[in-house]
Structure 1
Amino acid sequence: MSQVIGYEKVGDIAVLSANNPPVNALGAEVRQGLLAGIERAEADGVQAVLIYGEGRTYFAGADIREFGKPPQDPWLPALCDRIEASPLMVVSSLHGTALGGGLEVALSCHYRIATPLTKVGLPEVNLGIIPGAGGTQRLPRVAGVEAALEMITTGRHVQASEALQMGVLDKVQDGDPREIGLAFVRDLLETGAPRRPVCEMAKPTPIDFDATYDAVLKKGRGQLSPAIAVRAVQASCEAHDFAAGQARERELFTELMASDQRKGLIHAFFAERAVSKLPELQGINPRELHQIGVVGGGTMGAGIATSALLAGLTVVLLEMSVDAAKAAKDRIAANLAGAVKRGKLSPDAQEEILENRITLSTDYDGLSGVDLVIEAVFEDMEIKKQVFAKLDATCKSGAVLATNTSYLDLNEIAASTGRPSDVIGLHFFSPAHVMKLLEIVVADHTAPEVIATGFALGKRLGKVSVRAGVCDGFIGNRILNAYRTCADHMVLDGASPFQIDAALTRFGFAMGPFAVSDLAGLDIGWAARKRKRATGLDPRARESFYADKLCEAGHFGQKTGKGYYVYEPGNRSRKPNPEIMPLIEAERAAKGISPREFTDEEIVRRYMIAMVNEAAKVVGEGIARRPLDVDITLLYGYGFPRYWGGPLKWADLQGLSDVVDDIRRWSGEDPYYWQPAPLLEKLATEGRCFDDLNKAS
């Protein structure tokens, strides 16, 4: 027998135990062991087989080490068919998680029991594929089409109690998975329960699959795998027999395996796991974190404090007046109430947090005992330097001094203290208690253990943390400025903000750049433009001023009810602001620009290549250490469609030579803006791609 699949005979029951830590992944050796165990049981003269997992879980899914490699026999679909076809009664006892192929193995068994904390799911759509070992055919037969579709198209993990109601499980019982499994099998044998292969069950009742396909595709903003899963489930109802349905599932699975979206989603999956693994932090221990301070209780500061409180930390929040501090606590209370409403926090826990784990202060001395303090005041260098000088004078030795600045020079901020090695940037994204991205900005003198502390805090807060170097805007906002500039150029040349937003949402973005500006507040971009103009712009740079006129009139987007769009109270929808196009047309006329038409395809291509080109500069300059750092930043902070894997993965899929050719062609229109990044040119010339740099890091 395989070392990872144990075999023992308990009376008339053969027990197959998986022991492939940490998660009993269904690698080749596990699959071979299961097949050998079924064959041995059939030869041993037993009446039934029990399959369960040792350690913390049942089979949690595929072995990610096999991703992208040729499959080894037995393939999981063939193994599941073999288990189901056994003349013995085969039962699975589940605990921990049974996900993807793990649930498909369980569904190929004739009965299923689980412990109460077990979770089951088919999350393959999140990797750009569909279940490929019968999941789209067996699950609808036990749970019905609608429940199966919801589970498969969302990839949601389902609790044991719900799975029992759906028919996925036959029994839920507390206890050791081996013991409850053996008792369940004995009971089935004693009561004369029949073998119950799912493949022999009646076809499920069909629904309107065309309408469902369209709805799922729209909800996924163009992601193919959930919609294709609808067609696979459709085969469970309409195929001639189970084998024909399986063949259709396999055909659709194979098509998705070859798709760019699958490549993008696999890239995102591995990039997310690699992004916080930095060689410079190996062997470096973070400083202890128990209590943190937050300076400023506005939207961002309250969000940061909420995130820390939800992670179990205690917080001291500093504001400049009693009224401002009370308003900050009210914001935090509202954030926590939202967590209660979403089921993420109990009402009792909310009350305990507000009573015992947050302290309000109007004096910097209140921060004297914190282990780390995050400044979240107005984005103004002089104000931030004043704050850091006070923190330097007040905070204890060894306390980490962090700024939430979005753009400003961290080295200049650090120089306002006597301990620049303790200073770091922790750039949260709004709302800070919801958004998962955290840019950890490292200044010239930031100590390694302070960097490690930043990553430790990010992990505790449940964030995806990315290391960034110092420049205007760091990784995300620097790239944002470049592609937003491209959008502004297209507006001057003939596109409308509304066409651009529509084209980019069809591409897969959650929102277009002008709708995003309304959400963030047009005053933020206005302040950044004024700051840059004060330092002197290159005379070759094209500028637009129509958005400034909106701000001068007091229109800052959603918070004022008007920006690029008009927002009516109580109505979540938006409609184009009729004042926008006259402002744009007046500026075109003043600049002598004859507007031309843009296709949606050209809008997307220019916007994306502007993003890629600036991202290549960010990597080439070392602001981001690896291309995957850029990809994760744009995925988690800027609404980039996950199924493209990030902008640099998108560029790899397009072909870097084609990207460079477009930049060179467009440089005839604007030689200042359209210049290929040196790294991009180098990779294209050498026939390499950005992912080659990820693999080399």
Structure 2
Amino acid sequence: MTSGPTGHAVRRELHNRILVVTVDNPPVNALGVAVRCALSDAIEAAEQDASVDAVLLIGAGRNFIGGADIKEFGKPPLPPSLPAVCNRIEACRKPVVTAIHGAALGGGLEIALAAHYRVAVANAKLGLPEVTLGLLPGAGGTQRAPRLIGAKAALDLMLSGRHVGAREALALGLVDRVGETDDVLNEGLACVQALLDAKAPVRRTREADGLADRMASRAAIEAARAETSKNARGLFSPLKIVDAVQAALELPFDDGLRHERQLFLQCLDSPQRAGLIHAFFAEREVLKAPETRHAKARAVTSVGVIGGGTMGAGIAVALLDAGLPVTMIERDDASLARGRAHIEKVYDGLIAKGRMTSEAKAAVLTRWNGSTSYDALASADLVIEAVFEDMTVKQAVFAELDRVCKRGAVLATNTSYLDIDAIAASVSRPGDVIGLHFFSPANIMKLLEVVVPAQVSADVVATAFALAKRLRKVPVRAGVCDGFIGNRVLAIYRAAADHMMEDGASPYQIDRAVREFGFPMGPFQVSDLAGGDIGWATRKRRAATRDPNARYVQIADRICERGWFGQKTGRGYYLYPDGARTGTPDHEVEALIDAERERANITPRAFSDEEIMRRYMAAMINEGANVVHQGIALRPLDVDVTFLYGYGFPRHRGGPMKYADSVGLVNVLADIRAFAKEAPVFWKPSPLIVELVERGATLASLNHSA
């Protein structure tokens, strides 16, 4: 073995006439400019060196190549471009083999597709997830993948953005073999040597025959186009991916590459790409809470959950799925049995869908214990309370936890609105008390608001963030106020929707406009899904402190007074006959709304969908800015992530704060001031928006201030 020239990000070593080229650009071997230059140089050197018979391309560390270098996003491109590097690899006259371990994603897989042969080890994961960033594979991926594995499989891979393991990659034809060990170097060398011994030819993917059945390929493309048009909900890049694969079928390879590049640049210029890139960065930046930088998380090896209702059971499932033992506390044996039944129902649903076996369910449930005595929590490292949303009830629970839990145990509340400072003040160890606001269903929803009361210890906050990672949830740090980040903002834009409904827009028009904006559901559909009685209880709790000058729309109360709480009662704003999950408009609700307008002496007027969304978004943005201004959210991006993961905000718009910058804060402020002329109590411009507009700044400028 001899060594060749060593670059900063790529190493070269000669192993018995095989040049091993190792990408070493931690943490994920991203394809930055230094890597691209060194790869191109290595292929050139191999081709000119008579002592080299073949090239083996591998990655150092835990991955092959994780994709593009995110540090270069938004910056002018530096040569060589990734398409040029891929073309150079494919054009090499000596065999180039990639041995893949860990991630080969995006540009990393495009590099592998450009090589002549591919071997993967068991832990490999391959994918072309550019669609999640509003892009398409732009270095030949849309042209090589269909030629290699067929149009149908390639479209599935690119439109879903999913990762496939080594065995599935072999079955698809993405790789030629799966290694018997995890030793990527030796597996790669063995593969290359076998090819050399067999005098295997250079085999270029551009010449592969995956599109040979033109009729089947065309059918797959048209089916993908129809499905994407139906389900992509206005997204830009998915249909461009379909267009690029059609070009692979219809055009010579080099013409297809040029067409792919044109489509890639169109995606690059799309506002959706900017929104998706913002979401990508925001969900990473949100992990950087001040308390997590220096404090060490406490060890959590067992958890208690108080309450076995829908939320408590969902939290228990999330913990069990993370491998943690769970002790559930309920007030009596019947309630405890219902709590376990709620948990079993989740797993039975997975079994029915073929996603879990009965044996796996039984194994998980061995980690569940139930008790009607708080004393069962004596050794728990963390306890999460998920009982009825009432301060007296919650303080009674915390008094018991204060009595039985060991010193150093983290005491968490799942409250959606209540004052966690008051809960913490009611126990002898306020430094151990924190809010963990899960979203329903807690085993599925990704958002976890980590609510930080005044006296909490930094290591408790760090523990909450570590738990979120273990549960595969996205944590957002929030301060204490009524509703924290998400529900506080929700209360305001929901009030704006109620105002529009009373002023003349039907709830069905409002929901439709919100869906067309990109939300999966409108506010009245959400109310029906969550249960109208939840909001009703909150409104009654707040009644004593409500500003008497503030407008209060009573339509929701009238609906709840009739016992119409939404899907669970068969009707709310919508009708749900025979347990239907999708509602139909209710003429009795429309008559009730008309009666309320008359009582309030309001002459209804027409609203356009555009006006509905301008008011809806202005209310959301204004209160989001207030949340940042008051320090409840650390940065605008924390508001964005909250709404992306907890409230169905369309990801391609980046979140409400990113959307505000995209339409211009000056325009948002102008809308708020115009609306304030008719309703000055409700429409008060956020001081933060006023300040930023005055100095010509954006909300994004505050995103690194935590």
TM range (shorter): over 0.9
1:244 is matched by which residue type in structure 2? D
The change in CA–CA distance for 1:203 and 1:342 in structure 2 (over 3 A counts) is: closer
Pick one of 173, 187, 200 that aligns with 1:180: 187
Q: How does 1:161-180 map to 2 (within 5 A)?
A: 161-175=167-181, 176-180=183-187
Question: Does 1:287 pair with 2:298?
Answer: yes
Q: Is structure 2 residue 676 aligned with structure 1 residue 662? A: no
Distance 2:29 2:460 in 1: 36
Q: Distance in 1 between the 2:465 and 2:27 partners?
A: 24
Aligned to 1:305: 316
Name whichever of 485-494 and 192-201 sits farther off: 192-201
* Partner amino acid, structure 2, of 1:146: K
Q: Which amino acid aligns with 2:89?
A: I
1: CA distance, partners of 2:488 / 2:309: 24
> Does 1:671 pair with 2:662?
no
Q: Tell me, what secondary structure is at the counterpart of 1:525?
A: helix
Shift of 1:598: 1.3
CA distance in 1, matches of 2:404, 2:133: 49
- Of 274, 291, 301, 1:263 maps to 274
Alignment match of 2:99 (pick from 93, 96, 119): 93
| Cα distance in structure 2, aligned partners of 1:561 and 1:688 | 48
Give 1:7's aligned residue. 12
Question: In structure 2, how many angstroms separate the alpha carbons of the residues matched to 1:3 and 1:372?
Answer: 46
Does 2:606 correspond to 1:572?
Answer: no
> In the alignment, what sits opposite 1:219?
231
* C-alpha distance after superposition, 1:572-628 (max 9, x if no partner): 332122221101111111222121111111111211111000000000000111111
Out of 497, 501, 509, the position equivalent to 2:519 is 509
Match of 1:33 in 2: 38
Q: 1:557 aligns with which of 537, 546, 566?
A: 566
Residues 302-337 of structure 1, C-alpha deviations (whole Å, 9 max, x = no match): 111111111111111110111110110111122233
- Determine helix, strand or coil for the equivalent of 1:169: coil
Please say if residues 291 and 462 of structure 2, whose CA atoms lie closer than 8 Å, have aligned partners that are also in contact: no
CA contact (8 A) 1:203 1:237 kept: no
Q: 1:614 aligns with which of 623, 626, 630?
A: 623
Counterpart position of 1:395? 405
| Corresponding letter in the other structure for 2:444 | V
Q: Contact (CA 8 Å) 1:286, 1:450: kept in 2 or not?
A: yes
Deviation larger for 404-413 or 394-403: 394-403
1:72-128 CA-partner distances (Å, limit 9, x unpaired): 221100000111111112111111121000000011111111113311100011111
Identity over aligned residues, as a percent? Answer: 54
- Compute the RMSD of aligned alpha carbons: 1.7
Distance 1:223 1:526, change over 3 A: same
Preserved contact between residue 148 and residue 209 of structure 2 (Cα < 8 Å): no
Is contact 2:291–2:461 with CA below 8 Å preserved after alignment?
A: no
Q: Which residue type is aligned with residue 571 of structure 2?
A: K
- Would you identify which runs of 4 or more consecutive aligned residues in structure 1 move more than 6 Å? none
Q: Is the contact made by 2:567 and 2:579 (CA closer than 8 Å) also made in structure 1?
A: no
Match 2:613 to one of 604, 616, 630: 604
Going from structure 1 to structure 2, the CA distance change for 1:97 and 1:671 (only over 3 Å counts) comes to same
Residue equivalent to 1:196: 203
3-state DSSP of counterpart to 1:36 = helix
State the distance in 2 between where 1:570 and 1:47 align.
68
Q: Which residue does the alignment assign to 2:109? A: 103
Aligned residues: 694
Q: Shift in Å at residue 523 of structure 1?
A: 0.3
C-alpha distance in 1 between matches for 2:38 and 2:305: 54
Q: Distance in 2 between matches of 1:474 and 1:188?
A: 61
What's the counterpart of residue 370 of structure 2?
Answer: 360
- Change in Cα spacing, 1:476 to 1:99, as seen in structure 2 (3 Å) is same
Distance change in 2, residues 1:496/1:53 (3 Å): same
User: Which residue identity lines up with residue 532 of structure 2 in the other structure?
Assistant: L
**1:339: how far off?**
4.5
Q: Distance in 2 between matches of 1:114 and 1:538?
A: 65
Gaps of 5+ in 2: none
Query: Structure 1 CA distance, aligned partners of 2:320 and 2:55?
Result: 48
Between the aligned partners of 1:116 and 1:447, the Cα distance in structure 2 is 42
Aligned mates of 2:491, 2:158 — CA distance in 1: 38
Instruction: Name the CA shift for 1:456/1:342 in 2 (closer, same or farther; >3 Å).
Output: farther
**Aligned counterparts of 1:613 and 1:123: Cα–Cα separation in 2:** 34
Tell me how far 1:346 sits from its aligned partner: 5.1
Question: CA contact under 8 A between 1:154 and 1:226: conserved in structure 2?
Answer: no
Give the structure 2 partner of residue 63 of structure 1: 69
Q: Distance in 2 between matches of 1:561 and 1:296?
A: 26
Change (3 A) 1:344 1:627: farther
Structure 2 residue 390 is the aligned partner of structure 1 residue 380: yes
Q: Aligned with 1:207: secondary structure?
A: helix
- Worse-matched range after superposition: 340-349 or 279-288: 340-349
Equivalent of 1:327, from 330, 338, 341? 338
- Is 2:288 the counterpart of 1:277? yes
Q: Kindly provide the CA deviation profile for residues 212-268 of structure 1, in whole angstroms up to 9, marking residues without a partner as x.
A: 3342143222221222211111111122x1111111111111111111111111111
1:570 deviates by: 5.4
Is contact 1:403-1:426 (8 Å) kept?
yes
Judged with a 3 Å threshold, the aligned counterparts in structure 2 of structure 1 residues 443 and 10 are, in CA distance, closer, same or farther, namely: closer
Moved more, 519-528 or 444-453: 444-453
Counterpart AA for 1:317: M
Equivalent-residue separation in structure 1 for 2:360 and 2:308 (angstroms): 21
* Range with greater deviation from structure 2 (98-107 or 282-291): 282-291
User: Quick one: which of 497, 512, 518 aligns to 1:487?
Assistant: 497
Tell me which amino acid in the other structure corresponds to 2:240: I
**CA distance in structure 2 between the partners assigned to 1:113 and 1:393 by the alignment:** 59
Structure 1 residue 343 displacement after superposition: 6.7
Q: Which 10-residue stretch deviates more, 436-445 or 607-616?
A: 436-445
| Partner secondary structure for residue 79 of structure 1 | helix
2:450 equivalent among 432, 440, 457: 440
When the two structures are superposed, what TM-score results if normalisation uses the length of structure 2?
0.95
Alpha carbons of 1:211 and 1:352: their partners in 2 closer, same or farther (altered >3 Å)? closer
